[in-house]
Amino acid sequence: MGRDQGGTAQADAVGVQTRLPAAQAAFVNGVLAHSLDYDDTHLPSVLHPSASVIPAVLAAAQAGAPAVRN
């Protein structure tokens, strides 16, 4: 689904061999994190932000970072 949207290759998504636009990579990784139930819980606020925040931060960092050799 992420590849079908088109756009500039900017970030990695788990299980996808090609890079995706940052927004699509964040979405794919966020859906995966929620589906595998990799949620933490912040009890005072009854939130579990990491499954949505971490994928977005990683995609934004990759999109803004210069190319790195593997």
The model's pLDDT over 20-31, given as tens digits with 9 standing for 90+, comes to: 999 999 999 988
Q: What is the pLDDT of residues 19-69, one digit of tens each?
A: 999 999 999 998 888 776 666 666 677 777 788 888 999 999 999 866 554
- Residue 52 belongs to a domain: yes
- Residue 46 belongs to a domain: yes
**Which residues, 6 or more positions from 10, have their beta carbon under 8 angstroms from its beta carbon?**
19, 20, 21, 22, 25, 59, 62, 63
Domain with 23 in it: 8-64
Distance CA 59, CA 10 (A): 8
Distance CA 15, CA 35 (A): 14
And the tokens for 16?
């996808």
The torsion region of residue 11 among left (phi > 0), alpha (psi -120 to 50) and beta comes to beta
- Residue 60 belongs to a domain: yes
This prediction's pTM? 0.72
Question: For the chain, how many structural domains are there in total?
Answer: 1
